[in-house]
A = this chain, B = another copy of it.
């Protein structure tokens, strides 16, 4: 049933006896629910700092049992889905219990820093770690927000290490495909450069605009006249400040490069405005409009193909 819904599925459902998930909120919880729905896992163990959250996840059927770092000993697959700042400490904790044959992956939004943290934390077990980043989310958080279909049709980027055995990468890829995701492969540096441009910079820009306006003496009047364009433009400024502080710092080098490129773009637009060069201004706007239209058309075409493959699901 789950198999028929996906065009690029592994040929056989991996029979995972046990997975351990560190962090049973939206991301980790949705991974567990999706694998359970696919009948691909026998037991899901949840690990986390807050006993209350783990109990809620258990009563929601997301996890079957509550464990600790030592639970990884008997696991086939381990997912770190806790805030990125905790990744290194968690890897250090679980490393002594990690047996050959167990594969560890993560769900962090940045990858070079995770790899850098993982090497000393895992030592000679680094080959067992396959870094990943699912491109999916919702505004809600916590186990209650978890959905078995969260990853359906979404991208997951794996940034495999040179040390990884192909079977380890394939195992992580299979698990995500069973969640309905499309798996892509990039290097950690490529990943971070791409997401600095299309995600991290826009977040910083949206936060900057709202804060700029909120700091004015006439902020109330300004917000009073802000309409739907402003609302959409700034939606991502509603995201978690802690999470985006961590991402900004973790991907600082690539983000600074993007910020500088953008500042240069703004300063050339400024020059066009000063010169009242309407033709050149219109050219920039028109290029942007048509690039965006082409992008939206490509997304919609991909969605139609997916719907077709899924038999209209």
A interface, CB within 8 angstroms of B? 135, 155, 157, 184, 194-195, 197-199, 201-216, 218-219, 221-223, 225-227, 229-242, 244-246, 248-249, 252, 255-256, 259-263, 265-267, 269-270, 273-274, 276, 278, 281-282, 284-289, 291-293, 295-296, 298-299
Main secondary structure of the interface of A (DSSP, over half): helix
Select one of B195, B198, B237, B295 contacting A289, CB under 8 A: B237
| A263 x B267 contact (CB < 8 A) | yes
| B285 x A199 contact (CB < 8 A) | no
The residues of B that contact A226 with a CB separation of less than 8 Å are 198-199, 295
| B295 x A223 contact (CB < 8 A) | yes
Distance A246 CA – B273 CA, assembled complex (angstroms)? 11
| B230 x A198 contact (CB < 8 A) | yes
Select one of B202, B214, B218 contacting A233, CB under 8 A: B202
Select one of B204, B212, B213, B285 contacting A244, CB under 8 A: B285
Using CB atoms, name the residue of chain B closest to A284: B211
| B235 x A291 contact (CB < 8 A) | no
Select one of B223, B245, B291 contacting A211, CB under 8 A: B291
Interface centre among A184, A201, A209, A216 (most CB of B within 10 A): A209
| A289 x B202 contact (CB < 8 A) | no
| A239 x B209 contact (CB < 8 A) | no
Using CB atoms, name the residue of chain B closest to A202: B233
The residues of B that contact A227 with a CB separation of less than 8 Å are 135, 155, 198-199
| A233 x B230 contact (CB < 8 A) | no
Q: Which 7 residue pairs are nearest across A and B when measured between Cβ atoms?
A: A214-B291, A241-B285, A210-B288, A241-B286, A245-B282, A198-B226, A211-B288
| B238 x A292 contact (CB < 8 A) | yes
| B222 x A198 contact (CB < 8 A) | yes
Interface contacts beyond A219-B291, A231-B296: sample of 17 additional A-B pairs, CB < 8 Å, sorted by A: A198-B213, A199-B229, A208-B269, A211-B287, A211-B288, A211-B291, A212-B261, A223-B298, A233-B236, A234-B292, A237-B289, A241-B286, A244-B285, A245-B282, A248-B281, A256-B270, A266-B266
